[in-house]
Amino acid sequence: MSRLEVFAAWMIVTGTVFEAASVTPKFPLTDEQRESLETVGVALQAAGDTIIYELIEDYNLEKLGTGLFAIGNLTILQGLLRDIDDEQMTRFDMQGNAIQALGGSIILPDLLPLEKSKAEILEFYGLTIEVIGNVLHVFAGAKNLRGEDGDGDTLDLFGAWAQVLGSTMGAVGLKISLAEEEMSERIKKPTCLNNSKK
């Protein structure tokens, strides 16, 4: 655990907030502003996932799942940056969210069994909520492609804010883990010093 990993986690949170704001009808934004917010938000998430991926030294389920999160966000970003119609963009969004949902599902078993520490509980349930958010985005895209007015947008909204909640819980969990590790290191240092004096 490092401060850079926690920073990357909060980058992801910021990205999800931007993305959620872009699909929230109550926010008085123009179409251009919504598109810009979504693009920046997805880019922040992709960057955060990539940083965390690089920080994981061992090739395990967590690294694989985190890599899929990054690929999923880059897939969505590709759709946003291309000059394509709404249907194609929706397909990119669905594919990206499906890849992220797969990534999260791969990581979840690696977090078990829970030792009931605050950090682990927050990380596990936060990731679970994120995966649910990704799945809701996929269902929203499917409904929009079928031309079901309203339903898809509502699911998209719930999915976006579910990702905000989930990523925030995960980031708080990582911050708690880091604080506990740093506290443990501080406790060990005086002991080491005392032993060296002997």
| Distance linking the first and last C-alpha atoms of the chain | 32
pTM: predicted TM-score of the whole model, two decimal places = 0.90
DSSP H or E segment with residue 120: helix 118-145
Report pLDDT for 131: 98
Report pLDDT for 192: 54
Q: Which of 162, 139, 160 is nearest to 151 (CA)?
A: 139
Report pLDDT for 112: 83
- Domain limits for position 71: 3-197
Give CA–CA dist 132/137, Å, rounded: 9
The structural domain count of the chain equals 1
What does the pLDDT profile of the chain (198 residues) look like in tens digits? 789 999 999 999 999 999 999 999 999 999 999 999 999 999 999 999 999 999 999 999 999 999 999 999 999 999 999 989 999 999 999 999 999 999 999 999 988 877 778 899 999 999 999 999 999 999 999 999 988 766 788 999 999 999 999 999 999 999 999 998 888 888 876 655 555 555
